[in-house]
A and B are shown apart, each in its own frame.
Chain A
Amino acid sequence: MNYRLSKQKIGDFLASLMNEYEVIAPVNDNSLIKFKQISNTDKIILDFGNSRYSLKKYFLPNKQVLFKYTKEDIQEELDNKKRIIFGIKPCDVHALLIMDKLLLGEDLEDIYYKTKRNNTIIFALANNKPGENEFSSSLGTDKLERGYDLLFFDKGDYYIIKSGSEKARGFTNNLEQTEEEPQAELNCEKSLSEEQISKLKTSFDSPVWKEESEKCFSCAGCTTTCPTCGCFDVRDDPNLDLESGSRIRIDASCQLKNYTGVAGGHVFREGRDSRFKHRYYHKLDYFKDQYGKHMCVGCGRCITNCPAKIDMTEIINKL
């Protein structure tokens, strides 16, 4: 059983949830589509490829307090805010499922991520329009079988909504039921085949890495906007009394030189080519060895946000 909601009513539907939830939705922000908290539904964009930046900050903020310390005590800080994210595209839901593998391992759970994950309701929007530079259709991350609470299919004047979780029941009570089974097709221009990706296994010494890395500025734009890049630094932010303060974590990037620097000054990936190559191998080879799936969902943001116009699909297809 699916549900049906007229597109005109989507605003009222989301507005009715705002008392209980912080609602995040795609809006036009200075000509860029971004996910932001909304207080009214006037500015929501319903027809779009994808947002310029990923949604990871709602799960793994770029700066986050882990706990506050004093001389005698440590108090952890958990974000218990209840959120609904509306309009999240399938590739970005896949990105969350990938982050789950890394951060929700049985014995070593990241409770900050877990708390945010548990408190966030996912209203995904099925794909019918690729994001800029998106190549998710070739990776199979353009469709969703799980990972959503509600999945909206755009049918022109109305949405067909699939329910994907127990949690979703509370949201569908007042919706009209329908037998209609929706489908969404996405055709991305760019693509990356499994066969081509598997060439990484024998391409570690390929000249491609050195050549292509010479175009790279090591600006970390790719890792900053990648929905599955979650590397972080752990730092202390002391208060003025110097006895109390916060332990924080902030974004780190494998593209920056200090990422592998140890006390005493040695840097393990000193050359830009080795850092450049590490990202491709982590995304498309190492993570699969470790967790059984690729760490790339083909959202295309690393291409869109690269000032040197370096294209992941072009590079892998050169191997």
Chain B
Amino acid sequence: MTNIYKPELLRIDKVFEETKDIKTIRVKDTSNPKPGQFYEVSVFGIGEAPFGSASYSPDFVDMTVRSVGSVSKAIINLSQGDKIGVRGPYGNGFPMDKFKGKDLVIVGGGTGVAPIRTVIEYVEKHRQDYGEVHLFFGFRSPEEFLFKYDYDRWKEKFNFTITIDKPYEGWSGNVGFLNSIIEQSGIKAENRIVIICGPPIMIKVTVQSLEKIGFTDEQVYVSLERMMQCGVGKCGHCMVGNKYVCKDGPVFCYKEVKGMVD
């Protein structure tokens, strides 16, 4: 019998310093998650928590961790060679097959950019399946930028827009919230799918702006955050209405999310 609660012990292969309180850890793992899936990560003695995959690779899994909860704080303090427990991947992930033939608008705010990166890497590997791709990233300031080492490559391949919330010394790029930047961008709703990851308020105002442009809720896909413990629909914490965010999500079409009530 397999034990759904028993993690596999994996060594941290690499650590990427992202910002002052965010790191990306890489473990060798061949589970090759779908874009938008997540893992339950254990630091023994502290506990277990869910973290989205930030990579799309058959050889390894990247997880971007912000020092905010007890487990994430413990992960941040680990180094290359240290062991962590990993279970997964869990969740449905983005329905990338369904998006075939569409133009993509990929929107990430703050650490929401991490799950977004799995989508981007997937699209890079299946470029012929998708049309025009727009990336919109929003951060509080340039100090908060994640995956800076990928930006040159993404700029070559996609329409890449990045914005910060408030003016910042030395920054000459976009300033303002993602929703207004998207409104000003002139993108049209026709034949497009929008993927959004970020804080709930950012998702809300972005969808409002998209509606102004002419997008419908059916065109928008989001990844939801909830308290999760087991990751496999048993412990109950992530239930919203008759859905388990861990098992039925975390990716939902916005049309479905609109009817969800806590």
Residues of A within 8 A of B (CB): 66-67, 69, 71-74, 76, 102-103, 105, 108-112, 114, 204, 230-236, 238, 242-243, 245, 247, 249, 252, 254, 259-264, 268-269, 274, 278, 281-282, 285-287, 289-290
Asked whether B205 is an interface residue with its Cβ less than 8 Å from the other chain, the reply is no
Residues of B within 8 A of A (CB): 1-7, 9, 42, 44-49, 68-72, 83, 85, 225-227, 229-230, 232-237, 239-242, 261-262
A245 touches B234 (CB 8 A): no
A71 touches B235 (CB 8 A): no
Q: Chain A residue with minimal CB distance to B235?
A: A232
Kindly list chain B residues whose C-beta atoms are within 8 Å of the C-beta of A231. Answer: 235-237
Question: CA–CA, A236 to B83, complex, Å?
Answer: 16
B125 to chain A, nearest CB (A): 27
Give the residue of B6, B71, B239, B241 whose beta carbon is less than 8 angstroms from that of A66.
B6
Most buried by A among B71, B226, B229: B229
B72 touches A263 (CB 8 A): yes
Kindly list chain A residues whose C-beta atoms are within 8 Å of the C-beta of B239. Answer: 254, 278, 282, 286
Give the residue of B45, B49, B85, B242 whose beta carbon is less than 8 angstroms from that of A74.
B85
Question: CA–CA, A71 to B85, complex, Å?
Answer: 11
A26 to chain B, nearest CB (A): 29
Q: Chain A residue with minimal CB distance to B241?
A: A286
Q: For the complex, would chain A's binding face be called helix, strand, loop or mixed by DSSP majority?
A: mixed
Give the residue of B69, B83, B85, B237 whose beta carbon is less than 8 angstroms from that of A264.
B69
Give the residue of B4, B69, B262 whose beta carbon is less than 8 angstroms from that of A274.
B262
Q: Chain B residue with minimal CB distance to A243?
A: B45
B62 to chain A, nearest CB (A): 19
A260 touches B237 (CB 8 A): yes
Question: CA–CA, A276 to B131, complex, Å?
Answer: 47
A235 touches B227 (CB 8 A): no
Question: CA–CA, A289 to B262, complex, Å?
Answer: 16
A262 touches B226 (CB 8 A): yes
B227 touches A268 (CB 8 A): yes
Contact A252/B45 with A108-B4, A234-B230, A261-B227 known, Cβ cut-off 8 Å: no
B235 touches A238 (CB 8 A): no
A66 touches B5 (CB 8 A): yes
Kindly list chain B residues whose C-beta atoms are within 8 Å of the C-beta of A242. Answer: 45
